[in-house]
Structure 1
């Protein structure tokens, strides 16, 4: 799990920790893979973060393929081993091509077949690279997806950056992860 955090035992969880874990396990995720066993040492943060994460992952208004593409861009930018490991197969199943995912993992922009994929990649990359999004990219995103979805996309990128930071700071790996997608 993590050498930087105290070992967590479900049997000794506080009522607040149990409430968070129960909500995660009974929700759409159904597992604790990712940052949750790190966040659980701060149950209030864990509860707020996991609820935000459920929204950002499942209710942004973006198709799953585009959400997962944005997550892969984030994982690459942060070199978040577990985030990539968890979301890579989900992205492929959602329709991100293996070639595009590999190009992203290597830190390059794919030659996307779909305009929406290129727009999501460009939006995320501009935000990570310049800490802003150009007027042209912003206008294109709003025209294609609408203001609410663009706001939700920014939330998704911010949430998965938080996930990546958590995984990286506490040197967390995904359940069953044996290989690393990024050199350390």
Structure 2
């Protein structure tokens, strides 16, 4: 993916390369260590991303982790749609961690590279993009910018995913917006960074 977008593109990742300002506590208390151990021994296999700042509040870390695990590992949204939606959210809120983490997962799930480039650059989607992916981008954009869905978008979501699928997708958007915002403030480094 090219980091060079158009002049009208969404700003690139402003926190990329900046020093982390809200990382994990220097010394972990017993509950913090227990929460860290739960992450290390769970499906994530480590303490990274939003869980670095969340270590300051172990009950929140556990609750956030459980929602994320449910969405990623027990959800009904197919892999391509889930990973695409996460990438779109990450780009809409300019979060380097989730973008870098989920871009290869989206590619592996079969999301077209041209669509990911369009999201990265903030340009129009390819005309031949599968309709559910295009709709998911509209859902994310409307939720992030308007905090709700237009009637037409909502009706399209129900036709495409049904009520349960729509609820899951809306929750996916909200969850990843929340953790992206937390990491943007914390300046959590991308997954390849220390």
CA–CA distance in 1 between the matches of 2:19 and 2:192? Answer: 13
Deviations 1:138-183 (A, max 9, x none): 11211221111111111111110111111110111123239xxxxx
Residue 131 (structure 2) pairs with residue 131 (structure 1): no
Structure 2 equivalent of residue 109 of structure 1: 124
Greater fraction of residues in helix: 1
Count of residue pairs the alignment pairs up: 176
Structure 2 equivalent of residue 60 of structure 1: 75
Deviations 1:42-100 (A, max 9, x none): 11111111111111222331101111111111111111111111111111111112211
List structure 1 segments (4+ residues) > 6 angstroms apart after TM superposition. none
TM-score by length of 1: 0.86
Gaps of 5+ in 2: 1-17
TM-score by length of 2: 0.82
Deviation at 1:32, TM superposition (A): 2.3
Question: Secondary structure of 2:31's match?
Answer: helix
Query: What is the 5 A alignment of 1:93-108?
Result: 93-108=108-123
Residue 135 (structure 2) pairs with residue 119 (structure 1): yes
CA–CA distance in 1 between the matches of 2:104 and 2:74? Answer: 20
Deviation at 1:108, TM superposition (A): 2.4
Residue 46 (structure 2) pairs with residue 4 (structure 1): no
Describe the shift of the 1:170–1:155 C-alpha distance in structure 2 as closer, same or farther (beyond 3 A): same
Query: What is the 5 A alignment of 1:1-184?
Result: 3-5=20-22, 8=25, 12-111=27-126, 112-177=128-193
Deviations 1:25-56 (A, max 9, x none): 22222232311111101111111111111112
